[in-house]
Amino acid sequence: MPTKEFDPLAYIENAFEDKPKRNGKSTDTAKTPTQANKFRKTKLSAPRPRKSAQVEEAHSVLDEDLKFILENLPKNIEFLGTFFTDSVTSKYYQGDFKETREDLIRRLLNPELTLEEASRLLGVCPATVRRYTNRGWLTHHRTKGGQRRFRLSGIVKFVEEHGRLPEG
């Protein structure tokens, strides 16, 4: 029986060619669009657009009674600050008051706020309020324990200058 002549170079070159698998499918790339289904997706598709969150409209926390109080506040405070004194009240309490009448009115009109209260008033998280203070946009002072404290006037000034969500 005659034997075929063996060519080692041809054997090596043919070893690296793509050959069909035993199930008959080729490993070649798709050449026609009909064959594209057998291979990996080649088209890009974007995810479906997400529904925007339903934003609740902020209802006013100022009821009619509070609006009336706020409208009349300037003249009432001026009246309380100028007309009355502590002379009668001091007779009923021993020792001096811990704050003057002016300081009492100032403290009540411009209260000291915690970080939580400031973030609730601005409608942002506490980390955002810290960021505003670190950038110097929102004035604050620190307690002896190192906690941030804010004044209501500082919050109002911040909102007037920067709005609720300033651009940085």
How does pLDDT run along the chain (168 residues), one tens digit per residue?
A: 567 787 877 777 777 666 665 665 555 555 555 555 566 666 767 777 777 767 667 677 778 888 888 888 888 788 887 778 888 888 888 888 888 888 888 888 889 999 999 999 999 999 999 999 999 999 999 999 999 999 999 999 999 998 766 776
What residue segments make up the domains of the chain, in order of their start? 65-109, 111-168
CATH of domain 111-168: 1.10.1660.10
Q: Residue 166 is encoded by which pair of tokens?
A: 């300033």
Q: Residue 9 is encoded by which pair of tokens?
A: 């170079």
| 150 and 139 Cβ atoms separated by less than 8 Å | yes
For the chain, the distance separating the N- and C-terminal CA atoms, rounded to the nearest angstrom, is 89
- DSSP at 149: E
| 150 and 113 Cβ atoms separated by less than 8 Å | yes
Confidence at residue 25, expressed as pLDDT on a 0 to 100 scale:
56
Confidence at residue 80, expressed as pLDDT on a 0 to 100 scale:
80
Query: Measured in whole angstroms, how far is the alpha carbon of residue 123 from the centre of its chain?
Result: 9
Confidence at residue 86, expressed as pLDDT on a 0 to 100 scale:
81
Confidence at residue 55, expressed as pLDDT on a 0 to 100 scale:
64
Confidence at residue 146, expressed as pLDDT on a 0 to 100 scale:
94
Confidence at residue 133, expressed as pLDDT on a 0 to 100 scale:
95
Rounded CA-CA distance 114/150 in Å is 6
Confidence at residue 22, expressed as pLDDT on a 0 to 100 scale:
61
For residue 132, give the nearest of 105, 164, 106 by alpha carbon: 164
